[in-house]
Each structure stands twice: as C-alpha cells, then as structure tokens.
Amino acid sequence: MRIVHIANFYGPNSGGIKTTLHELGRGYLRYGHEFIYIVPGVTNHSEMTQYGYKITLPSIMLPGSGGYRIIRNNRELKKIVESLNPDAIEISDRFTLRGIGLWAKRHQIPTVVFSHETLRGLASRFLPKWLPLRSMVDWHNRRLAHSFDHVVATTEFAAREFREIAVDNIVKIPLGVDLETFTNENRSLTLRRDLLQGAQLLLVHCGRLSPEKEPQRSIQALEILLKRGVDARLVIIGNGPMWAKLRELSEGLPVEMLGYVADRKRVSAILASADISLAPGPLETFCLSALESLASGTPVVASSSSAVGEFLRHAHKNPAGAIAGDNRFAFADAIESLAFRPRLRTIARDAAARLPWDSTVGLMMALHGIEGIGQQAPHASTKRKLKIAS
C-alpha cells in the first residue's frame, strides 16, 4: 500500500506531530508498505529518509509561532498528491488542509485526518468569550468529519468533542512511545548530579514553550516548592515563542533552560535522570513528552484538564504520576506527593509499555483496510515510479 501523509506545523524543532509522522512512516516501511510524507519547508525538495520518501514544499512562516510553517499552495499540493497515486491519504492539520479531504473524496481516495488539538479548548482560550464558541466549534468539527473518511483521536479527551455531536466516523487510536530509546536504563547518576548542582529533587519540563502549554506553571510550582523548603531544581527542554519570557521569569531561581535538544538519547537520559516530569499544558490531547518520561521511568505531574491522566492511569490504584489543578499551588502539592518514591519508576515504565508504537501502526493499518500485519494492499505489489513535481 502507498500511504501519503501531509502535515503542516512540521519543522526542525517541532515535537509531537514530527515524532508521530516519523514513527508511522518507520512502522509502515517495516511492514512492507510505501510511505511518502509531504511537509512545509523553504523550497521544493525531495529525498529518501529512514521514515519514507520526504517531499518538502515552499511554505509560509506563521508569525509568533516560534518557527512553525504551513504549505503555501494547496493547489500545487493537490497536483503533487495526484501524481503520487496514493492508496490512502493521512492529514495532520485540521485547519488548513480540509480541502485535501474533499478533493480526495472526489477522486475516491480513502482519507484519515488526525485531530491533534482540542478545538474547544483552543477556542475557549484564544477567542473572545462573547462569540458563540460552542456552536462555532461544533460547526467546524462536523465539517471536518464530513470532509474525511475517518477522524483519528488519540485519547478519549480528544474524541469527546466529536462524540458529543454524534460524529460517527471518529476513531480512537492512541499514539505510542519508542520503548528502546526512552528507557530507565539511560538513567545516569553522573548526569543527575550535574543537573542537580547540589539540589535534592530534580524536576524536568520537556515540551514546546508556547502559551497554550502553560510552561510558566512549572517555574511557578518550583518557586512554591522552594518557599516550602523543598530543595528542588528545574531543567527545561524545548524552545518556542515564550523562551524569553520564561528566562526572565526564572531569573534568580534554580532553573536551567537547555533549549531544543535534537539528540533523543540525550533527552531520554535527562528524563530518566529526573525525579518528576511536569506536563502543565491544560489542552494536551496526548503529550508525547509525558509518555516518553514514563518510558524513561520518571513519573509525571500533569494538568487535570488535559488527556495525560488517561495514560497515567490516574484512576487506578497505583497511577504512574499525579494530576493537578491548573494553578501553581496544586502543581506544587502534586510534586510533593510524588517526591522520593522510588517504586514509582517501575510503575511509570509499566504504564508506558502499554503503548508501543507498533500497536499504533497496527491500528492505523487496520483502519486503512490492510488485513493482517505485514500484508500489503492488493495492487501495492506493483512497482510504480514516483512522479514528483519539481
């Protein structure tokens, strides 16, 4: 089967969408299928990668986004997709690529769109309260669902706004985690000592530093802990539009901002060497960095209004972390409740082990109608030359 995945908001420093796309591509290739991914960039470019055939198209930089881009010309994009003769199309952008779904329907090409965001949450946070937000969101979600054969939500939290308007083509497929790269075996006492710089409790925040993810809450919680006499230090991994603001906010506090770390083994070592990982984003529909923390053996404190509690298994007797209200005091309380409990490392790893990427790939292949892991679609065995527009 030839699968074409189109994604905006993909770039050198992007996180969850980029990781998802790469892991899907790696999985499809492993089971004998073709994977082509089309992403925004500076110029037309194409190359074979370990994740599949990558096509980069000229794009527009979104102001204030910290480097995110969207493909500039959807008309040209459709021509390229048509030349690829795909068996199925996957979309990672519910806002600017809906027209690709409608075009694919006219050409009888099966489609899937990933709902990576909670539109209700985004609308509530960024749009004026006097607008009819609920009806606007419901209208958009119905149009989105009508434009594609399937809408994929990665958690019940993400699926809820579709289920409540009786969308019948919503499918829940959890994302996964690389259990070999992110592992407790990467825990380093030397690295931990270097990061602690004499403190006792090592906290880590890993993620994009953007307003909707509330990264300042990790710093605010640290400040509360210090006032309570907890000898803690915070390491922040990631970049984004709030970098300067967070640097200013952390002045005089035991905070180290590492920026974007490209080496995933290095990220895993930092996560594994920490005591607690923080995921304060209230709108997270999944949060791969939280799951990677668990895989690294590090429990997570997450926003109670996000989806992260689902894979923390917070409703179970032995959760892999804690959820907290969206304020600094609640986060500080949750951190203290988890501090210095070594058995949590095993619980965290076990929770992550329930969500391997291979499971995600298998569910996606089933959604595409591939009967059985590793079997190809009927006409995919015919070798077809890629016709890439230059």
Average pLDDT over residues 120-125: 85
Question: Tokens in use for 27?
Answer: 């999985």
Give residue 382's pLDDT band: very low, low, confident or very high (50, 70, 90): very low
Residue 388 lies in a domain: no
Better pLDDT: 94 or 200: 200
Q: Is residue 385 in a domain?
A: no
Residue 83, amino acid: S
Asked if residue 389 has pLDDT above 60, the reply is no
The CA-CA-CA angle for residues 190, 279, 177, to 5°, reads 75
pLDDT at 301 over 60: yes
Distance CA 277, CA 261 (A): 16
Longest dimension (CA), the chain: 67
CA pair distance 156, 311, nearest whole angstrom: 11
Q: Check residue 278 and give its pLDDT.
A: 98
| Contact present, 263 and 235 (Cβ < 8 Å) | no
Torsion of CA 302, 305, 307, 308, to 10 degrees: 10
Confidence of residue 372 (pLDDT cuts 50, 70, 90): low
Q: Is 127 domain-assigned? A: yes
C-alpha 189, offset from chain centre? 29
What element of type H or E holds 290? helix 288-295
Identify whether residues 283 and 307 lie together within a single domain.
Answer: yes
pLDDT in tens, 262-292: 899 999 999 999 999 999 999 999 999 999 9
pLDDT digits (tens, 9 = 90+) for 316-363: 889 999 999 999 999 999 999 999 887 899 999 999 999 999 999 999
**Would 383 be classed as within a structural domain?**
no
The enclosing domain of 12 has a CATH number of 3.40.50.2000
Residues 172 and 205 in one domain: no
- Report how many domains make up the chain: 2
Residue 258 in any domain: the answer is yes
| pLDDT of 150 strictly over 70 | yes
Considering the domain boundaries, does residue 389 fall inside one? no
pTM for the predicted model, two decimal places: 0.90
Q: Decide: 300 and 324 in contact? Cβ < 8 Å.
A: no
Q: Is the confidence at residue 378, as pLDDT, over 50?
A: no
Mean per-residue pLDDT for 243-258?
96
Position with higher pLDDT, 63 vs 160: 160
Q: Is the pLDDT of residue 151 over 90?
A: yes
Note whether 191 and 302 are same-domain residues.
yes
CA separation for the pair 328, 306 (Å, rounded): 16
Q: φ, ψ for residue 292 (rounded to 5)?
A: -65, -35
Considering the domain architecture, whether residues 154 and 198 belong to the same structural domain is answered as no
Question: Does 236 lie in the same domain as 263?
Answer: yes
- The answer to whether residues 215 and 171 belong to one domain is no
Please say whether the beta carbons of 277 and 300 come within 8 A: yes
pLDDT greater than 70 at residue 12: no
Q: What is the mean pLDDT of the chain?
A: 90
Query: What local confidence, expressed as pLDDT, does residue 95 receive?
Result: 87
Same domain, 364 and 266: no
How far apart are the C-alpha atoms of 286 and 153, rounded to whole Å?
A: 9
Residues 147 and 243 in one domain: no
Give, for 34, the enclosing helix (H) or strand (E).
Answer: strand 34-41
* Cα-based angle 247, 249, 253 (whole degrees, multiple of 5): 90
Q: What percent of the chain has pLDDT over 70?
A: 93
Has residue 47 got a pLDDT over 60? yes
Domain that holds residue 301: 184-353
Supply the pLDDT for residue 209: 93
Instruction: Return the pLDDT at 388.
Output: 40
* CA distances, 27 to each of 35, 62, 359 (Å): 9, 31, 10
Residue 113: which of 125, 103, 126 has the closest Cα? 103
3-state class of 204 per DSSP? strand
